[in-house]
């Protein structure tokens, strides 16, 4: 059974104003480390109080997707 890494995109698990996504390099490094070890990377992206994913998080996810080639 593969391992699992559960981590928030920012510093907190739930949405807090001003909790921006971590740097592209940090997210990519964590993704690659999980891939190398055969672990699942579960990245928590919390919605705001209106139930929407903040634009900054969506942009960070798109950059991560492009960086990984997936």
Distance from the Cα of residue 15 to its chain's centroid: 13
Which structure tokens are listed for 23?
């740097």
Q: How confident is the model at residue 70 (pLDDT cuts 50, 70, 90)?
A: confident
Structural domain range at position 28: 4-68
Residue-wise pLDDT tens digits, 13-63: 999 989 999 999 999 999 999 999 999 999 999 999 999 999 999 999 999
Tokens of 37: 């070890």
Nearest C-alpha neighbor of 63 from the set 23, 11, 7, 24: 24
Q: How far apart are CA 11 and CA 44, in angstroms?
A: 10
Q: What is the pTM of this model?
A: 0.86
Strand partners, 6: 42
Whether the per-residue pLDDT at 1 is higher than 90: the answer is no
pLDDT at residue 69, rounded to an integer: 81
- What domain count does the chain have? 1
């Amino acid at each position: 059974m593969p391992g699992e890494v559960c981590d928030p995109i920012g510093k907190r698990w739930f949405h807090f104003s001003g909790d921006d996504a971590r740097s592209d390099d940090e997210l990519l490094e964590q993704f690659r480390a999980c891939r190398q070890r055969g672990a699942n990377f579960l990245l928590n992206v919390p919605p705001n109080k209106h139930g929407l994913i903040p634009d900054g998080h969506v942009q960070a996810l798109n950059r991560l997707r492009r960086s990984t080639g997936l």
